[in-house]
């Protein structure tokens, strides 16, 4: 997984990786893989970038493998709920996880996780890259980053920003932005990108 920051643009580049639960060495090899549906767990609510990438990939996988690919959204706890679901599933190659930046960050944020991020998973492929951007309601009085910074400094406890979960790239990007701009914004974690956008478009 890759993470880069650009101090000039305050933008983050993160990689989405598909993680495959490691098969047990003692598990017998399947005669024909796949011989039943494959499940891809997306640890966010439907409609966000990770979900769209997973569904697009699933369509191509279904064509190539001739199997049914099921997308299962399991949002919450900064991707931990969905990740745990994959870690505790049968290690037979039929349950995949759409891993994100949060999979690399959560071990640093949580003293204990319900899975071993290193031993329980193996990276399969880099799927997509995406930038985080700042968006506001078009009717808001903020038309630039400078406007946002000025407003936050004028009323330090008033403004908030939404992310798609604690430990996600959007969360860390927001915290870095606050630090660089020397402002205070209340962080509001949601279970997915679309949910946060839907909420803030009415503010």
Domain extent listing, the chain: 3-25+37-131, 145-200
Of the CATH numbers 1.10.150.120, 3.40.228.10, 3.40.190.150, 3.30.590.10, which one belongs to the domain with range 3-25+37-131?
3.40.190.150
> 3-class SS at 91?
coil
pLDDT tens by residue, the chain, 203 residues: 333 333 333 332 333 444 544 434 445 555 688 999 999 999 998 988 899 999 999 999 999 999 999 999 999 888 999 999 999 999 999 999 999 888 888 898 888 999 999 899 988 999 988 888 888 888 889 999 999 999 999 998 899 888 877 888 888 899 999 999 999 999 988 876 655 555 554 34
CATH entry 3.40.47.10 includes domain 145-200 = no
The pair of three-digit structure tokens given for residue 124, joined into one six-digit string:
């399969």
The answer to whether the pTM exceeds 0.85 is no
């Amino acid at each position: 997984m890759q993470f880069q920051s650009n101090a000039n643009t305050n933008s983050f580049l993160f990689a989405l990786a598909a993680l495959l639960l490691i098969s047990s060495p003692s598990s017998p090899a399947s005669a024909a893989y796949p011989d039943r549906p494959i499940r891809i767990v997306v640890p966010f609510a439907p409609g966000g970038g990770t979900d769209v990438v997973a569904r697009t990939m699933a369509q191509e996988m279904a064509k190539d493998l001739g199997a049914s690919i099921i997308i299962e959204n399991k949002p919450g706890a900064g991707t931990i709920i969905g990740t745990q679901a994959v870690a505790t599933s049968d290690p037979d190659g039929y349950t995949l996880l759409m891993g994100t930046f949060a999979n690399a960050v959560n071990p640093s944020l949580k003293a204990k996780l319900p899975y071993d991020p290193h031993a329980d998973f193996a990276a399969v492929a880099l799927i997509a890259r995406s930038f985080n951007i700042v968006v506001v309601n078009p009717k808001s009085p903020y038309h630039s980053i400078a406007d946002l910074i000025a407003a936050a400094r004028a009323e330090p406890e008033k403004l908030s920003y939404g992310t798609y979960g604690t430990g996600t790239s959007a969360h860390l990007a927001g915290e870095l932005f606050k630090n660089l701009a020397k402002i205070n914004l209340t962080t509001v974690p949601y279970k997915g990108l679309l949910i946060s956008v839907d909420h803030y478009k009415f503010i």
